A and B are shown apart, each in its own frame.
Chain A
Amino acid sequence: AQSVTQLDSQVPVFEEAPVELRCNYSSSVSVYLFWYVQYPNQGLQLLLKYLSGSTLVESINGFEAEFNKSQTSFHLRKPSVHISDTAEYFCAVGGPSYDKVIFGPGTSLSVIP
C-alpha cells in the first residue's frame, strides 16, 4: 500500500532564504508524485507533479522538486521564498495502479519578514 511521510510539520524561514520541504513515499509499484499548496481558508492547488521522464520538475512560481527513486523521495525546494509562499504544502502519491491519491500530513511553511 502507498503511504507518504512529510517529516517536518512546521518550517519557519526568513524571506529570501532557501527552503526545502521533505517528502518520502512508500510504494511497491510505479508512482505519480504531486505537491499541492493550500493557502489559508482555501482549497488545495496543484503546484507540480512527476509522472515520468525528467526527475526534476518545476512550477511556474519558482518551486522545484526532484524525484529520487532510490531514496523514495520527492523533496520540494525554492531558492528564495517570499511572504506570499506562506501556506500548507502537501505531498501526495498516486499511480497507474491505484484508484486514488494519498496525501501526506502536510508541512506548514511560514515565511518571516
Chain B
Amino acid sequence: DTAVSQTPKYLVTQMGNDKSIKCEQNLGHDTMYWYKQDSKKFLKIMFSYNNKELIINETVPNRFSPKSPDKAHLNLHINSLELGDSAVYFCASSEMTQNYGYTFGSGTRLTVV
C-alpha cells in the first residue's frame, strides 16, 4: 500500500487551463502539505492543513487553491496556468509534532506549454 499517493504523476497542459492534483495518505497523519520543487530542485512549502484546517498559506498566487475534504486528502487546484507554474509538486504528510519527519508522495510533474 502506498503511504502517500498523488495523481496524476505527469500533467502536460496549455497556458490558461485549470487543473487539479489529488493527494491521499493512509498513514493516519493529522497534517498534510503541498511543496513545489523548481527546476533547480529547490523545495518551497505552499500550504499545510491540519485535520482539514488551513494552517500554513505561504505567499502563493491566488490561482492556487488547496482543498481538504478530510484529513486523509489534500487536493491542489490551479486556475489559469502559467508557464512559470511548471514544476514538480509534492504532497507530504506528518504527525502534528513533526518529530517523525515528513512522508512524501512521488510527485506530480506539471508542464505548462
- Which A residues contact B (CB, under 8 angstroms)? 32, 34, 36, 38, 41-46, 49, 51, 88, 90, 94-96, 98-103, 105-106, 108
CB nearest to A34 among chain B residues: B101
| Other-chain residue from B40, B56, B99, B101 in contact with A100 (beta carbon distance below 8 A) | B56
Which of B13-21, B68-76, B78-86, B102-110 makes up part of the contact surface? B102-110
| Other-chain residue from B48, B56, B101 in contact with A49 (beta carbon distance below 8 A) | B101
What number of A-B contacts does a CB cutoff of 8 Å give? Answer: 54
In contact, B48 and A99 (Cβ under 8 angstroms):
yes
CB nearest to B99 among chain A residues: A51
In contact, A32 and B99 (Cβ under 8 angstroms):
yes
Asked if B27 is at the interface (CB within 8 A of a chain A CB), the reply is: no
Asked if B59 is at the interface (CB within 8 A of a chain A CB), the reply is: no
CA distance A111 to B99 in the complex (A): 31
Task: Mark B35-71 against chain A: 1 for CB-CB distance below 8 A, else 0.
Answer: 1000011110100100000011000000000000000
CB-CB under 8 A for A101 and B102, given A43-B90, A90-B43, A106-B42 = yes
Residues of chain B with a CB closer than 8 A to A46's CB: 101-103
Residues of chain B with a CB closer than 8 A to A90's CB: 43
